[in-house]
Amino acid sequence: MEWDRFLKMISDAYYGKESNTSNNNQVKILYLPATADKWRIYPLDKAPVVGNEKGFLFPSKFGGLNYAIVSMPQSNVAIIDTRDYGRVQIYVDPSTGAVIK
C-alpha cells in the first residue's frame, strides 16, 4: 500500500498538482556541493534507493550544482529538472552535504 501512495505523490508532483512554493511563493533551491564527486538520481516511478538509479550528477566537475526544487514528495527526497535526464528524484538528506534554501 505504501508504494501505491508513493507513486501517486510522484505522479501528482510530475503533473504539477503539488508545488514547492511556500506562503511567500519562493522556490526552494537545492545546492549540491563541489566536494561531491557524484550524486545518484532516480526515475520518478521507482523508489530512490541504490540500484534504482537512472544516472549520476557530477557536482565536482562544475564547482557544485544548483537546481530549483519542483517538489518534496517525501522527507529528504526532492524532485528536480535536469538538462540531461529530465525530471528526476534525488536523495538530499543533510548528512549528504546537500543544502536546501
Looking at residue 21, its pLDDT comes to 46
* Domain enclosing residue 86, as ranges: 2-100
Distance CA 72, CA 85 (A): 18
- Interval 19-55: pLDDT, tens: 454 455 688 999 999 999 999 999 999 999 999 999 9
- Interval 46-79: pLDDT, tens: 999 999 999 999 999 999 999 999 999 999 999 9
Split into its structural domains, the chain has a count of: 1
Domain with residue 60: its CATH number is: 2.30.30
